[in-house]
Structure 1
Amino acid sequence: MPHDYALHTALQARCLCCGSLQPFTFSSPSDQVVCAHCRSHLGPEKAERRDLAHIALWRGISEAQALAAADAAEQAETDAAAASARISELEAKVTELSATVIGQFDSAPASGIREELQSDLVRRAERATELANRRTDRMMAVLWRAATLHHVAAGAAACSCGKPAATCPELRILNSEQQALRDWEAKNVALAASGARHALPPEHPAVPDAAGTAGGATAYSSRRKQRN
């Protein structure tokens, strides 16, 4: 009787003689779905031999499955014990860290936990400082852009926006931060000149353009003079 199994592919199929799953590689739909173990006892005259062979095969399969189940149970027990020990270790660590975090650092045991926590606190502080510096850089860059639109040229009485210098609200705000803005700009111009990471806006004269040239100190000094 033709079968529907894939051809030329190693697969597991249930033998029509012994009923057990066995490896097959079929080359034709008309191949018998009979395992190699059972081919030797096909035919009505070999019924007794077939039954004995089947019993031996099933016993072997049953014993192999029993051994596999025992091994799996033993491994599961070992894994459960290891997991329980790990959970206990982590719970103890959490308890110790919790005691430290709530202000009992000095009473925490002198173990690797304290050193680990100290390192973590240092990393967190460094990260917080870095984020704060980046926020400051972004705000100062905004102020620098505003200063390019609101400044008083030497000898002028009006803001570059056209309003009287005394009544320009943006200029008044910028004047209150003028020294901080100058210090920030000078520091970042020096960083840009050395090729280091800086926070100057792309349009700043000290930032190299696509051709690799920068406005340099002349343009930078000129802009500072305009804001004086």
Structure 2
Amino acid sequence: MPHEHPLHVDVEARCLCCGSLQRFRFASPSDQVVCEHCRTHGGDEKAVRRDREHIALWRGILEHQAADASAAAAAATLSQSEAAAELARVAAERDRLRAGVLDENDPAGAELRRSLQGDLVRRAERATALTARRVDKAMVALWRLQAFHHPDARKPGACTCGRTLAACGESRVLEAQRQDMLDWERRQLVLLKAGERHGLPPEHPEVGAG
């Protein structure tokens, strides 16, 4: 059955064999949507090998995502601390200016004050944009991990990966940041619907729907 993915460009699609999200470059609509990993175990006679390799592939993906989640959680905490410190510093400089450290009655002082205020605004804007990008990157990693590891509504106390919540290391990593990640996702959806810059990943269903 022909696929509907774009041709001659790199795209991310789910492998029809193992179901993992992989990068493809299709030359024809008739190209198989099967990743390189799975092409080595095609055929019914290789079913055991296929299952074993699928398990190894998914274990590697989950371990990589768990590492990304831990790094993302640490980065999110650091970014928030850096943002708070930068805002405090800018506010302190602003207050010093307002307190009359520079004499506005003097033309040179007034000009310098305007220049400093403009510089503070630009620096604050750059710091805010940088922090936003860092937070977006961290939250995207958590969002991707959340897709595979969240409480299973059909099985209380179980993770959607099949393990119990207590036994799932990824769920434990996510738990401390899950609400922050969901709040971030809601804010990004508002930005998306308003046509503004957002940090949602391209595979997010609302991004694709738009």
TM-score range, shorter chain: 0.3 to 0.5
Higher relative contact order, structure no. (Cα contacts within 8 Å, ≥ 6 residues apart): 2
**Structure with bigger gyration radius:** 1
